[in-house]
């Protein structure tokens, strides 16, 4: 029996489905008013190959202050997996449609990795929607495609490499190492959760298809060399850039470039942290979001 994308027990009270952009999306929503505070909602967008559960440590720290939402982007986790090209415009249009369906006219948009690229695409196409932007270890800009990435990008070859991970749960779990400063230092329950979650990703043919469609589009059209500095110079929104100093996926140079391109952006560095601060440094990330 193939493993499934279950809902963590601590997030089950907030899980819901919504129709947006012709799709059914799974998301976590702390509620129309939120348990406390009257500030603008936080909208948390995950990265490539991830799901909304990446925010499971951060979500409860934010929802006590503001309404907090975290969707599975289409193609990933428990949202619909349409047969189509997965592009930043598609993700951005879906996020805008989701907020429209929820009657949320403005929000604080928070994106990790590819989710940060979606945040920027929303801000450039619908500048009236975000009140504030938070880019967490993304998007990588100005990078080069290395030999390993090139193999993964090659049609057929990448899929075989991905599917080969089904032979060993240990091997699938080991692919998470570069995303953390200290994967082994996470609490045992977190490591057990991640082990099961990566196993579910490896066995999902729908998510594999969405992953490669997105990854190849980003490689050839999206992240490398984009967004362009001239585009970002037009942004007139408060922007926080938060980066793990030990990030092996998106180097710190990307964060520094973004801070130089976006007017008034502030760069915050997190020591002893890799590509996923929401998992390794949730309390510090929450502090920066709420300050």
**Inside any domain, residue 181:** no
pLDDT at 34 (0 to 100): 46
Q: Where are the beta strands (DSSP E) in the chain?
A: 15-20, 23-29, 42-45, 68-71, 107-112, 130-136, 239-244, 266-270
Pick from 61, 86, 105, 109: which is nearest to 284 by CA?
A: 61
Domain range for 47: 9-144+226-290
**Inside any domain, residue 271:** yes
pLDDT at 225 (0 to 100): 45
**Inside any domain, residue 191:** no
pLDDT at 32 (0 to 100): 74
pLDDT at 37 (0 to 100): 53
**Inside any domain, residue 232:** yes
pLDDT at 151 (0 to 100): 83
Tell me the DSSP string of 90-131. HHHHHHHHHHHHTT---EEEEEETHHHHHHHHHHHH-TTSEE
With beta carbons less than 8 A apart as the criterion, state whether 101 and 19 touch: yes
Residues 6+ apart with CB under 8 A from 66: 34, 36, 37, 39, 40, 41, 42, 108
Whole-number Å distance between alpha carbons of 94 and 97: 5
**pLDDT (tens digit per residue) in 121-144:** 999 999 999 999 999 999 988 766
For 266, the 3-state DSSP assignment is strand
**Inside any domain, residue 175:** no
Pick from 95, 50, 17, 57: which is nearest to 289 by CA?
A: 57
**Inside any domain, residue 86:** yes
How many structural domains compose the chain?
Answer: 1
**pLDDT (tens digit per residue) in 231-251:** 899 999 999 999 999 999 999
Residues 6+ apart with CB under 8 A from 149: 219
Q: What is the largest CA-CA distance in the chain?
A: 51
**pLDDT (tens digit per residue) in 4-16:** 889 999 999 999 9
CATH number of residue 130's parent domain:
3.40.50.1820
Residues of the chain with pLDDT under 70: 1, 33-38, 143-146, 222-226
Please give the structure tokens belonging to residue 104.
């949320």
Please give the structure tokens belonging to residue 246.
């030990």
**Inside any domain, residue 123:** yes
**Inside any domain, residue 178:** no
């Amino acid at each position: 029996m193939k493993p499934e994308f279950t809902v963590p027990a601590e997030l089950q009270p907030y899980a819901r489905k919504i129709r947006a952009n012709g799709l059914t999306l799974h998301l976590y929503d702390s509620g129309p008013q939120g348990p406390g505070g009257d500030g603008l909602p936080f909208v948390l967008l995950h990265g490539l190959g991830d799901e909304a559960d990446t925010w499971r440590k951060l979500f409860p720290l934010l929802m006590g202050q503001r309404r907090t939402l975290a969707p599975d982007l289409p193609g990933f986790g428990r949202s619909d997996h349409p047969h189509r090209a997965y592009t930043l415009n598609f993700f951005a249009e879906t996020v805008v449609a989701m907020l429209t369906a929820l009657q949320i006219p403005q929000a604080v948009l928070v994106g990790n990795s590819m989710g940060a690229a979606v945040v920027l695409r929303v801000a450039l196409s619908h500048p009236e929607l975000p009140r504030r932007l938070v880019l967490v270890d993304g998007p990588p800009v100005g990078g080069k495609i290395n030999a390993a990435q090139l193999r993964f990008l090659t049609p057929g070859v990448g899929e075989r490499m991905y599917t080969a991970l089904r032979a060993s749960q240990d091997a699938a779990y080991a692919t998470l190492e570069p995303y953390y400063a200290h994967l082994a230092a996470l609490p045992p329950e977190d490591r057990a959760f991640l082990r099961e979650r990566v196993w579910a990703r490896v066995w999902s043919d729908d998510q594999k298809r969405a992953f490669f469609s997105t990854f190849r589009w980003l490689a050839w059209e999206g992240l490398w060399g984009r967004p362009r500095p001239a585009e970002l110079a037009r942004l007139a929104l408060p922007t926080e850039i938060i980066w793990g100093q030990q990030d092996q996926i998106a180097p710190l140079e990307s964060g520094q470039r973004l801070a130089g391109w976006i007017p008034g952006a502030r760069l915050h560095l997190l020591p002893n942290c890799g590509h996923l601060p929401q998992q390794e440094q949730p309390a510090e990330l929450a502090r920066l979001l709420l300050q």
